[in-house]
A and B are shown apart, each in its own frame.
Chain A
Amino acid sequence: MEFTPENKKKIEEILKRYPEGKVGRQAALLPVLRLAQEQFGYLSEEAMLTVAQVLDLSPASIYGVATFYTLFNKKPVGKYHLQVCANLSCCMEGAEKVVKHLEEKLGIVPGETTADNRFTLSEVECLAACGTGPVIQVNENYHEKIKTPEDVDRLLEKLR
């Protein structure tokens, strides 16, 4: 497993933002893991070892970091990662019903991926858009005020 030449260049750019030496290579870890996830789809053990090699950091320390942060996927996710905020404000707006409807529509529960690898469903914590809940983050993008089953259906339709 190797980074593409383009990503290797990006890593060089990333490293320039931080001091030289070990502290700088360690500081580059989050952005480089993100890059790895973008290129390899998720952070497999192999992907983490590739990062360890590129940044000359110990695999164990990378594993500790990768498993600490929720945005790093340690297993494959579907084409669309539906991340439903289930925190208080969204909950008051009916997030539980949204999750339930998604479960029924997709035939999966949070943490699972549909058999066609199209959707992964996750319940996530506050996305800082509490005034427009319930919020669903699909991959990088926020979809706000998804209140009713119809709103959910419309969103899924857009993603089909």
Chain B
Amino acid sequence: MPKVTIDEKVVDVPEGTNLIEAARLGGIEVPHYCYHPKLSVAGNCRMCLVEIEKQPKLQIACNTKVAEGMVVKTQNPRVEKARRSVLEFILINHPIDCPICDQAGECKLQEYYMKHDLAVSRFPIEEKVHKDKAVDLGPWVMLDMERCILCTRCVRFCQEVAEVNELCVSERGDHSTLTTFPGAKLENPYSANVVEICPVGALTNKDFRFKCRVWFLKRTESVCPGCSMGCNINIDQNEGEIHRLTPRVNEEVNEHWMCDEGRLTYKPVNQKNRLRFAKMGEKDLHPDEVLRAVREMMTGVDPNLVCGIGSAQFTNEDNYALASFLKELGSSHLFYHRFEPAHPSVDDYLIKADKNPNTKGVSTLGFKEIGGDRRFKFFFVLGALPEEALNRIALEQQKKVILFNPWDEETVHYADTLLPVGTFAETEGTFTNCQGRVQRIRAAFPPPGEGRPVWQWLTHLTRLFEKPAPNYTTAPALFLSMANQIAAFRGLDYEKIGNQGMLLKG
């Protein structure tokens, strides 16, 4: 591995590493706009100019590969002067409309200006080149042509990742403009990713625009519940309202991206029809009352008439807790249901036809797909059952359903007892994606009302049945208990899973 000296610091980096990445490995940030680790090198912003010993001209770090013994300076006066002048050029035709720009607070122009420049403008405002603002590019993206610094990250993203050339730069010189073909739309299934890779406020997310200043957002690491890929995401929320989901880097799963469909999965969390209180029939009741009623209802019931229906939409932890509870009751009848839309989107990249985040997990835990077994009378169910599942279990008046659900929906009126639980955004736990990778999701905020995790409800209930209650009082402890019981999870814990997940054995 070549050794290079960057700002007096010796770093050992793999052959073929460029100087931006090499510096990053040494803890040094080389400012840049056009460079992106997952895209081809364009070298057009010129922000990453650095000095390399024995080379008369400054070189762009993004297009320079390390070589043994290379000595690089990223912050001497010559480099800093070049950087300031590049930044000045980039800013002269920029509208500087930060007060009304959604990017404010996470804008590389603002950031580098504060860090490297802070100079007064030498360019008269009236001479700025004017271009179109608020151009509707497609279902997800709004373009402000004036704010664009023409780094072409978005153009390259469409070409190289989405593999649809929907964007181009038109004209030339300082009239160069980012655009689609006239009248055409940016509508590939990954289109919104251009918003995150846009280093400035040129491309903004129509779903997020003007909703919340980014500095009010709190970020929680999570996993997209939209399909079995389990793209790593951040939940950005303010006071319990989610404003956006953004992709989080995981080179083994989603690299830097997520699909547009996945970005919508937060909408039901914010919905008004959340189930806030435990219910029997139409009545809201105190949770203790509901649980006691369930206990009573179950008195003297033959365990073989009781079954648990887990869900590929719920975490491993929730499903495991259900299985444990059923075991205490003496039943080993475990089934699961999953969400199966009639025409699921699918491609050969991140979009999987299985629209459930945890199919692999729930089957690993020993749940079977719902069959035609009609003998059960008592059902403990995670999440609203689809029509088809209801037919299969031959639901009728005498049969009793205890449903754990985040929503108070028309479609769940078959449930005799409703217990409020959190959505993915309010739950701590794990999903196992289609690759067999266990990945953590975290609660961005607590569920509304009396909502609580499935396992908490069940622990409480177990006690009422005068059975030995589970020994876990937190999600990580639950996971450890599961890891002791289920071979596939053996040896794992939350710390090991970390924020990049762990592949299950076998």
Contacts and interface: CB of A to CB of B under 8 A. Distances in A.
Q: Find out whether A and B make contact in their complex, taking CB atoms under 8 A apart as touching.
A: yes
Interface of A: 45, 48-49, 58-64, 67-68
Looking at chain B's contact residues, is the secondary structure mostly helix, strand, loop, or mixed? loop
Interface residues of B, number: 15
Given A58-B164, A58-B165, A63 B170 contact: yes
Contacts of A45: 181-183
Interface in B119-166: 164-166
Given A58-B165, A60-B165, 7 more contacts: A58-B164, A59-B181, A60-B168, A60-B179, A63-B168, A63-B170, A67-B170
A64 B179 CA distance: 9
Nearest to B167: A60
B167 A68 contact: no
B172 A60 contact: no
Give the 10 A-B CB pairs with smallest separation, nearest first. A64-B168, A58-B165, A59-B181, A67-B170, A60-B168, A60-B181, A63-B181, A61-B165, A67-B171, A60-B165
A13 to B, nearest CB: 26
A63 to B, nearest CB: 5
A63 B179 contact: yes
Contacts of A59: 181, 184
A122 B182 CA distance: 24
5 contacts: A60-B167, A60-B184, A63-B179, A64-B169, A67-B172
Contacts of A62: 181
Contacts of B166: 58, 60
A20 B285 CA distance: 73
Contacts of A58: 164-166, 181
B135 to A, nearest CB: 14
B119 to A, nearest CB: 32
A68 B182 contact: no
Nearest to A65: B168
B499 interface: no
Interface in B171-191: 171-172, 179-184
Nearest to A58: B165
Chain A CB count within 10 A is highest, among B165, B169, B180, B181, for: B181
A61 B183 contact: no
Contacts of A49: 181
Chain B CB count within 10 A is highest, among A48, A59, A64, A68, for: A64
Given A58-B164, A58-B165, A58-B166, A63 B182 contact: yes
A49 B182 CA distance: 10
Chain A CB count within 10 A is highest, among B166, B168, B171, B183, for: B168
Contacts of B181: 45, 48-49, 58-60, 62-63
Nearest to A67: B170
B487 to A, nearest CB: 49
Contacts of B182: 45, 63
